[in-house]
Structures are given as C-alpha cells and as structure tokens.
Amino acid sequence: MTTKPRVLVVEDEPTIAEAIAARLAAEGFDVEQVHDGLVALERATAWDPQLVVLDVMLPGLDGHEVCRRLQAERPVPVLMLTARDDETDMLVGLGIGADDYMTKPFSMRELVARIRALLRRVERAAAAGATPAASPTVDVNGLRIDGAQRRVWARDDEVHLTPTEFDLLACLAARPGTVLTREALLAEVWGWADASGTRTVDSHVKSLRRKLGADLLRTVHGVGYALEVGP
C-alpha cells in the first residue's frame, strides 16, 4: 500500500487551516495542522513531515523563525503563506530556506499543484544523489558548482544556498550564456507545467544575486535569465 505524503499545516487562522487540511486530505495527503510556531517545531520533530505549509504571521514564533529552525534541525521543503504582497518578506523567507511562497488569498488548486511539484523535486534530488556520476562539477565565471555534494564556491569562498537556489543555479550553469525563459525554469526546476509562478523565479534570482553578486545573472526583460560566462 502506498504511504500518503505527510504535510504539516502551520496556520493560526482556524478557518484557513481547516480549509487547507480538508483539501489536502481529499487529494490523498496525510495532514496535521497546528496553530502556533512553537507547537509547529514540536510536531515537526515528533511527526517528521515530508513538507510544511507555513504561515508567516504566527503567535509564539513567526514563520521565518520557524523555517530557520526547521532547516537547521532537519531540512524539509517549506511552502510559506503570506498575507502581504511584500517582496522583502518573500526574499527573507527564501533566504532562510523556504522553497516557495504564496500570497493570500490563493487558489487551493494551485496550492496542491505547488505541493506536488515540491515533493517531486525532493524525489528527483534523492534519485540524483544516488547517482553522483550524473551530477558533474561545473566551473563558470568564478563559480565552482559541485553537483554531487550540492555545494557552491564563488572565487574561493563557499556560499550557502537553499535547495531551490542550488537547483536554479545548476539549471542555468548547465547552459552558461543561454537565456532560459521563466516558463522553462519553472518546468525544469519546480516541475510546473504553467506560468502561474513566474514571480517565484524572479524572487529566487534576486536571492541568488544577493549571495553571488549582481553581475553573474543576466536578465533579458520579458524573456528570462542567463548565467554569464565571463570574459
């Protein structure tokens, strides 16, 4: 019998938490819900979820601090929910290890699609880790990207990237100098078949620029992004 994917919903508004939990249960997930940050950490340790849906505004500890502690203890895919369409808020979340975010109000259908895409990415990463020969080391424009160990150096300094940031950088580095559309990046990195998450790509690119330098990733307006090959 196939085990249902375990999803922990952390949301302090009971109506929203119940709606998310009911929809995910109907879609075949094993769901638990909690309503504050401290309890979320306790439940995550005890239950070991495969993915966490995490609201930013929580009593006890806010979602950013919960995400930071979760990733420090045992990395787990995190999809953050925010009531504010604030890019700074989103970049903070992505920078501490969140894999994706959605702004309220959101479509339950899209939420389910994004959760499934994140879980597929985890499965693909695990499969790639089992065959490290298929993950070469890439050197381009001062970057060294070790696909087997999932580590990155800029010049001689190691740079810590979140799992999604690493996947995005590796995708661009596999074709240095080639402009990849946002839709292509969504399909390859996130596993999405539509263009509903192009802002997610933009926010992750901005997060990469903050860590690696603004001149490494080139924007082609209206199209997408390329990793510069250097002089």
Q: What is the mean pLDDT of the chain?
A: 88
Sign of the torsion formed by the C-alpha atoms of 120, 125, 129 and 135: positive
Number of domains in the chain: 2
Do 10 and 122 fall into the same domain? Answer: yes
User: Which of 80, 100, 127 is the C-terminal boundary of a domain?
Assistant: 127
Do 206 and 105 fall into the same domain? Answer: no
Range of the domain at 173: 132-227
Summarised one tens digit per residue, pLDDT across range 34-50 is 999 999 999 999 999 99
Q: Which two tokens stand for residue 6?
A: 């375990």
Do 112 and 136 fall into the same domain? Answer: no
Minimum mean pLDDT range among 20-34, 46-60, 127-141: 127-141
Do 136 and 69 fall into the same domain? Answer: no
**DSSP annotation of 132:** G
Q: Which two tokens stand for residue 200?
A: 């997610």
Is position 1 within any domain?
no
Q: How far is CA 100 from CA 54, 178, 204, in A?
A: 10, 25, 9
Q: Which two tokens stand for residue 93?
A: 């979340």
Element (DSSP H or E) covering residue 153:
strand 151-154
**DSSP annotation of 2:** P
pLDDT beyond 70 at 109: yes
User: Which of 127, 153, 186 is the C-terminal boundary of a domain?
Assistant: 127
Summarised one tens digit per residue, pLDDT across range 164-193 is 888 899 999 999 999 999 999 988 888 777
Q: Which of 7, 148, 160 is nearest to 77 (CA)?
A: 7
Q: What is the pLDDT of residue 96?
A: 84
User: Which of 127, 142, 157 is the C-terminal boundary of a domain?
Assistant: 127
Query: Which residue type, as a one-letter code, is found at position 35?
Result: H
